[in-house]
Structure 1
Amino acid sequence: MSQARLAPGVMPGRLTPQEIAANFVDVAPPLTDHEARVAADRCYFCHDAPCIAACPTGIDIPLFIRQIATGTPDAAAMTIFHANIFGGMCARVCPTETLCEGACVRMEAEGDPVEIGALQRYATDGLMAQGDHPFRRAAPTGRRIAVVGAGPAGLSCAHRLAAKGHDVVIYEARPKPGGLNEYGIASYKAVDGFAQAEVDWLLGIGGIELRHDHRLGRDITLDALRAEYDAVFLGMGLGGVNALRTEGEDRGNVLDAVSFIRDLRQASDLTTLPVGRDVVVIGGGMTAVDAAVQARLLGAENVTIVYRRDRSQMGASLHEQDHATSSGVRIVCNAAPVGLHGNGSVAEVEFAYTATDPDGGLHLTGDRFRLRADQVFRAIGQRLDGVPEALALDGGKIGVAGPGRTSIPGVWAGGDCAAGGDDLTVTAVAQGRDAAEDIHLRLSNDRK
């Protein structure tokens, strides 16, 4: 990263187009055929494979790796897609180090797991590149289901329902489908427009209609959907961003990290995005890391993540934390913001060190410090907005029982908007899929 051209203040064009292009290449390039066969040969093909139990979608991992090892990667891809229609994106963004690879027997034997994520990408990319959608719809049932939200949960639900012969209409508030995959992950994790290509491929099954610029509570109501459709699935994610509730939060250049990542993902020219010289990101999850690393890749000279608890409690995985630090991001733990200072725009953030109470709570100590900051990103979580009052909530999210059943008959929910998840793409996919199976079962029983 060139340092000579960096200047103070929030500004675009800190790096040349060539430097930007070099910074935002694929963070994990795909395996070659030879590399995939070598990686597959390391699998023990465990009978009671712990990697399957660790996968929220329950992919038969030993089976698909054996299929790669025996020269049938397309069959491996179908094994993956039957369980997880977003196998391509999940291969790129899943925290495999804490899921399937973290449970790999090779970890105990050698400390080096089978490259499950890379092998999954190898198989799924190969089949998707052939163009034609590999699934075919069952005979039409005449049933119609409304899905609110074209994110991983909603699209997963829609695909499974369409495969069973139902007609699905997806209502999406934004101009593009994809949800978190399109708007909320770091650009270097899914390069070359993969998120939209994957959605286009998924929609190739047919029977799914997308209606954009339809927000629940503004353009459509739950009561109207229930009256028009045989079932409703809610998968609209989390629309609100939590505030710091700190003095000076309204100063200029204090932004939410979600919007920063969204704008970066949608920008056709990254050199037009303004970024500060001294950037502070407040939070400890994947969003905080994605915002911090990308600010650094855009040319920020000093980028610091500040998290209120210790590093072991950060929502971002150790792998993501290490990626941040290797990208030049500093991580400061056990500190919380108590003031944002400056004349109009932010210039400094004041923090107090925190201490943990016996009950696990936190309190601020009298030990304080300040960080210079001309740009601050909030990454302290999102909240659910615009939910009908009739829906029972659980911890600020839609309460669900079993495979996504809400408190209202005929209405299911899944993904980040529903209680009990862990805000991962793979979990949202599993919840959408399982809700679709339950919806199909309910509609099939209604016919009897």
Structure 2
Amino acid sequence: MIDHEMDGVWTTPRFRKLLAEGQPGQALALVRKEMGLSQADFGALLHWDRTHAGRVERGEVGTIFDIRELVRAADALGIPRSALLPLLLATPDPGTIDYRGGEGVDEVDRRQFGLAATITAVAGVSMPPTGATEPIRVGTGHVTYIRVLTQRLWEHDNHHGGGGAFDYASRQYASVRPLLDSKSYGHRTGAELLSATGWLSNTVAWLARDSNHPGIARRHLTESVLLAEQCGDNALLAAALGDLANLAASSPASFAEPVRLARRSTELVSNIPSARMNALKAAEEATAYAAVGDEREFDRAMARVWREADRGLDSPDDPAWLEHVNEAELRAHEARGLRMLGHHARAAELCRDSVAHESCFPRDEASYRTYYAAALAGLGDTTSAITEAHTALTLLEGPVNSPRLLTELRPVRTAANHTRSDDAEHFRHRFDTLTRIA
């Protein structure tokens, strides 16, 4: 799956025109601004000071006309090297440029996720600029870069799921993590770097889980916990512990582990005003109680969920990873717990309500339809389950890449084995084909 929506500004006529006119600095400035980086941030990525970065963008120095520096700058901003051809050919429409093929895995990743920067430049392992003698110093530009990368990954996940982004995100985290050991930053920058890296690790964990790699997800969440503790980021700590609770609820290593993790996560956010955050944590706690069969505590936790929802779930201050938390998402959490407790009819009803919700991301629509189909299969309504699963598969074959959701449809596939109809046969074929691809 190629993500056309998040292609960078380098695909625009304006960018190509600037290159063709011999103004690469201004072309790079377009990309820098799209990424939300200041000139100082951009300069830090390339070991330039802010003044020099500004002069490069204005064309006052010839640094960027050194092919090594041009390529280094393009890599740092995640621009495919083929996008530089208008500068070399002096035409904004070379005709033979194919922005979607012929480059290699890393370049394809860059196009897929919009912000695919080669962070080896950040980590200081790429070729330094001519005349550079000092090692790169980690600064606010690197922190900004990691935050923008994390934001873009969540935005991608909201629309397209984690299946196509996990490998890329994992590689980027492996490049970012050594920055923490560079010892080239002060206390304040260090705390910000720990927090930003921890949130990136938390994001990679979700993408790993959505790609059916729970072991990798758990390792990244454990890393997030350690980083959160070091910098005192309680929101990050709560997010990581809540995700660990969700993992434990799926396959508990011990009877009490999901509850312990979820309750600690809830405690950590009690002083955070976000209704979304508190509702989500209460929902995770409810799921944990359901996983251990405690229906009474499940009901009490869900009552807290809806009290928080009554406060209002729309806040401009909530981060991207919380944007999907709405009434439909909370109903899906409740339905998951009810299924664990054996209440399949009520779970199916809630899943149907989530499917009917108009304002949700494509990945969430795929989730709700998948859960609804699985709940119908649990009720023994195989015909309706297959009908709903067909709709979920259409999303999973198209805009959404989520091996986890495909696995969630396995009960429908099992039920389809015992149904002799053209629709059931068609579903089996579609499911098996997508499973092989995944």
TM-score w.r.t. the length of structure 1 is 0.29
Greater percentage in helix: 2
**More strand by proportion, 1 or 2?**
1
Q: Which has the larger radius of gyration?
A: 2
The TM-score normalised by the length of structure 2 is: 0.30
